[in-house]
Each structure stands twice: as structure tokens, then as C-alpha cells.
Copies of this chain bind each other. A is one copy, B any other.
Amino acid sequence: MVTPFKRSGDLDLEAARREASFLVRAGVNGLVVGGSTGEGYAMKADELKAVCTTVRNTAKKLAGDEFPVLAGVIANSTKEAIEYALAAREAGADGVQMTPMPTYLYKPDIKDTVKAFRDVGEAVGLPIVIYNVVPTNRLSAADFQKIASVKQVVGVKQSGVDIHTLADVILAVGGRMAVLSALDDMLLPSLILGAKGSISAACSILPDMCVELFRLYRQKKIEACLPLHWKILRVVRVTVYRGLNDVYGDMLGRVKFAINAQGRNVGYPRAPVSLPSDDVKAEILAALRFAGRPVNPKLR
């Protein structure tokens, strides 16, 4: 889920509570705070702790103690990752969603990456879902076979842009860990290939439609899924990415606008990112209408 910020750039915990309530009521099976869409990369550990505490308490109250809440760990060193993961633990998170490190420019040898996930897992004692999203530090299916030796790693959120690699990851480690799809425009094909679910910007923008898609898929009603698939894809193409390997630079502003436009107020992205220009807003509204979403009348 997104992290609501005020215009000043400060956390808006009340809006986070409201958005978490909405998502739980829409039927999602879990929540992640502080991922990419959640601007976790731009938050301090104490901010992650605050938002995680708020969301966790809200979600567990509504959906029960079993409802899982994860916190994002986006870090540039093992030391920093442990700091964030400890903050998550203190906030009562059920696990962490952690990127390979660093996210900045470099890709250590896979043995160093395996060690890093183990070091963080052992230091914090929480389950880890690896968030495979960093362009300069992509993990391959073969890398995951090596990471499988780390007990704390229980899942993969495969972004890394393409469903072709998702298939390879499922083939390589799908029996050992849960593979989740962050391929916003390919949720249905992801499920068919064996993804266990999705953690994605699409789910943050259109939670009820994604939940419905998942429900129909589990009932084997593939054809009934297709209209939902195309609607989601259409919205994703103007909010998340234009196409393969072409994420919008201002995605965070677009996603927040798309949520605000539906009447849920999640505020602003953190500077330097801002809400989109009027032209872009018009494109997003058109896609939301195509998808049959009720759009805030003030924005029409």
C-alpha cells in the first residue's frame, strides 16, 4: 500500500489508518507497508516503524491476528537493513519484504547476497520475502536456487519487469518458497503460471478488482477474469509502466493521484516527486473511467 504524506512531506498516519481499513474491507489477504509504491526508500526507520504500527493495529483489529502485515526493507548495507528490519519487528510486523542490497549501482557476488539475507534473517528472526526489483541488482532463477538455503526466506516478490523471468523463478524454486507477482499488467497470466498471489501497485490502486480477479481465478472462471484483466492493464499502462522496462519516472505521483481520484485521500508523494501534470491527470481519469471506476466528481 502507499504511504500517505502531507503536503509538507510529513507522514499522515490518520490517512494511513483510513487507507488500511479500506484495503482490508476490500478483501485483500495481507498488507505491505514501505515497499516501492509505499515510498519505503524515502523513509527513515522510525517512520517505517510508525506507519507499520498504525497499519498493523488497524488491520489486525479488522481482520484478526492471522492477517499478515509486512514491512519493506530497502537498504544499501546489511547494517542498514538490520536497522529497518528491527524497526519492523518492533512495530509488530509479521515479516519483511526486502530488496537485494545495495539498491545503488552495485551487485555483489551471489555468495555475498546469500550471506546478507541470512545475516538479516538471523539478526531479526522475521520471515523474509525477497523483493526482486532492483535494476542494477537483479536476481536470476539460478540465484534463487542458492538463496533457497536461507531458512528465513519464505517467498519472492518477483518484479524485475517480465513474466518470462517469473516463469523461470517458479520453475526453479516454486516448490520451496511462495512466488508472488508484482507484474501489475500480467496478474492473471501470473496466477495461471503458478504465482501464489500479487503484491503490486495495481492492487494498491484497484484493490477490489484485483481481489475479484483472484477470487474468479480460484474458481477456475478464467474467461470471467479477462474483462478485469484488460481493465487493470489499461489503468496500469498510465500509472505504473508504459511497457516492458519502462516504469514511469513519476509513478508515485500517478499512483497517488489515481487513488485520490477514486475518493480515497492518500495525499502527496515525498519530494522531489510530485503529483502529475494536468495532461497526465486527464489520461489517468480516462483510464479509470474505462475501468468503470467511480471518479471523484470534483475531478471530472
Contact = CB atoms under 8 A, between A and B. Distances in A.
A243 B158 CA distance: 15
B112 A272 contact: yes
A90 interface: no
What is the total number of copies of this protein in its complex?
4
A250 B110 CA distance: 10
Given A103-B104, A167-B186, A78 B271 contact: yes
A167 to B, nearest CB: 6
Interface in A108-129: 108-109, 112-113, 115-116, 119
A299 interface: no
A282 interface: no
Nearest to A113: B272
Nearest to A246: B164
A164 to B, nearest CB: 5
A144 interface: no
Given A106-B273, A112-B273, A274-B112, A168 B136 contact: no
Contacts of A270: 77-79
A277 to B, nearest CB: 8
A284 to B, nearest CB: 15
Contacts of A193: 189, 229
A135 interface: yes
28 contacts: A9-B77, A36-B105, A41-B102, A42-B77, A42-B79, A42-B80, A77-B271, A79-B271, A105-B135, A106-B273, A107-B250, A109-B277, A112-B273, A115-B271, A115-B272, A119-B271, A161-B244, A162-B164, A162-B244, A163-B163, A164-B186, A165-B243, A167-B185, A171-B234, A186-B189, A189-B192, A192-B222, A192-B226
Interface of A: 9, 36, 41-42, 74, 76-80, 101-109, 112-113, 115-116, 119, 133-137, 140, 161-165, 167-168, 171, 183, 185-186, 188-189, 192-194, 220, 222-223, 226, 229-230, 233-234, 237, 243-244, 247, 249-253, 270-274, 277
